[in-house]
Amino acid sequence: MNVLTRCQSTATMIGMKVPVKNVRVEFDRYGNERIYYRVRHGKRTRLRGPVGSPEFWSDYNQAASMTEQPGTKGDTLRVLCVRYYGSAAYKQLKASTRNVRRNMLDRFCEAHGHKRYAQLEPRHCRTIRDTYTETPDAWNNLRKAMIQVFKYAVEYDLVASNPFAQVTKLKSRPGGIHAWTLDEIARFEARHPIGTKARLAMALLLYTGQRRGDVVGMGRQHIRDGWLRVTQQKTGKALELPVLGTLADIIAASPTGDLTLLVTDYGKPFTAAGFGNWFRDRCNEAGLPQCSAHGLRKAAANALAEAGATSQEIMAITGHESLAEVERYTKSADQKRRAESAMRRVET
């Protein structure tokens, strides 16, 4: 071909069902494919191919992050967050952490993105904090993210200090995430018997003590000689967990997918967020609106503590990296065990 052929949608070029926004595929006169990211008539950014490959998505996300959006001109908080998305500190985060952090920062920018970051002072941050008194954990997570954004700004001489680092956290609500009780587990099992997808999901969460993002990736290929091999998404830690007989029986009696044990109604693997929403509905069906997937991880840690497992043994199951993290989960179990021991001494 003597001229470049422009294709508006990548669907016709690579057989994808859904076009990729702002992506154009061109061919030079030798038939070589060239992929570009371009918003309207703005600057073109060359992307590595083929479309859909890890290299493509890496370049695509970076190009999308660095492209100016409406309202991002000047020294606003939105501009600072967009620049942070292109930083090495952000790119080195785990993919799941990047997604959570970006969603959080984007929501923050909807309300405060127009404000000038160079003029932000600790007193302004405290005013923002005071709007989160009913959701303290949401503030604590936002504060943690904004500290990293301004740490980047300080490193690149965009500001002189980090205002969010000078503002305190809010005290979390007592107890944190609700840990399932034995009665709640029994009620869920009564509503969702063995052979249902909901019962399989609960068993995987309870008898492995893993996060929902790890449970949705478990498949039969990860089980060998009675051991389940898991690489945690959040930490990258590789674990080998014994498959208890109860869990093995439930897996054997349950319909499963080919690559993952848990699949959607369309036969596809769950995303972590999608699974969390689906499992919440199953809890509601059992009359347990206070229960969640993560609450079963906490219940598993509590059960291990009540059975007399040491903190190091619990960490070997849950994959926690510090004693402080484990103690958050096992505090109630430790209290119960110590109270029983103390009262037995009194009785004696």
Is it the case that residue 8 has pLDDT exceeding 80?
A: no
Quote the pLDDT of residue 175: 61
H/E/C letters for each residue in the chain? Answer: CCCCEEECCCHHHHCCCCCCCCEEEEECCCCCEEEEECCCCCCCEEECCCCCCHHHHHHHHHHHHHCCCCCCCCCEHHHHHHHHHCCHHHHCCCHHHHHHHHHHHHHHHHHHCCCEHHHCCHHHHHHHHHHHCCCHHHHHHHHHHHHHHHHHHHHCCCCCCCHHHHCCCCCCCCCCCCCCCHHHHHHHHHHCCECEHHHHHHHHHHHHCCCHHHHCCCCHHHEECCEEEEECCCCCCEEEEECCHHHHHHHHCCCCCCCCCCECCCCCECCHHHHHHHHHHHHHHCCCCCCCHHHHHHHHHHHHHHCCCCHHHHHHHHCCCCHHHHHHHHHHHHHHHHHHHHHHHHHC
Instruction: Tell me the per-residue pLDDT of 247-303, one tens digit each, with 9 for 90 and over.
Output: 999 999 999 999 999 999 999 999 988 999 999 999 999 999 999 999 999 899 888
Quote the pLDDT of residue 73: 52
Is it the case that residue 180 has pLDDT exceeding 90?
A: yes
Instruction: Tell me the per-residue pLDDT of 125-173, one tens digit each, with 9 for 90 and over.
Output: 999 999 999 889 899 999 999 999 999 999 999 999 999 999 999 988 7
Range from 214-218, 307-311, 333-337 that averages highest in pLDDT: 214-218
Peptide bond before residue 242 is cis, with ω within 30 degrees of 0: no
Higher pLDDT residue, 7 or 178?
A: 178
Quote the pLDDT of residue 43: 73
Instruction: Tell me the per-residue pLDDT of 61-79, one tens digit each, with 9 for 90 and over.
Output: 777 766 544 444 568 999 9
Is it the case that residue 9 has pLDDT exceeding 70?
A: no
> What's this model's pTM, rounded to 2 decimal places?
0.62
Instruction: Tell me the per-residue pLDDT of 330-339, one tens digit each, with 9 for 90 and over.
Output: 676 677 777 8
Quote the pLDDT of residue 66: 61
Quote the pLDDT of residue 49: 84
CA distance 180 to 296: 6
Share of the chain above pLDDT 70, in %: 88
Domains of the chain and CATH, by start: 1-55 (no CATH), 68-172 (1.10.150.130), 182-347 (1.10.443.10)
Mean pLDDT, the chain, rounded, equals 86
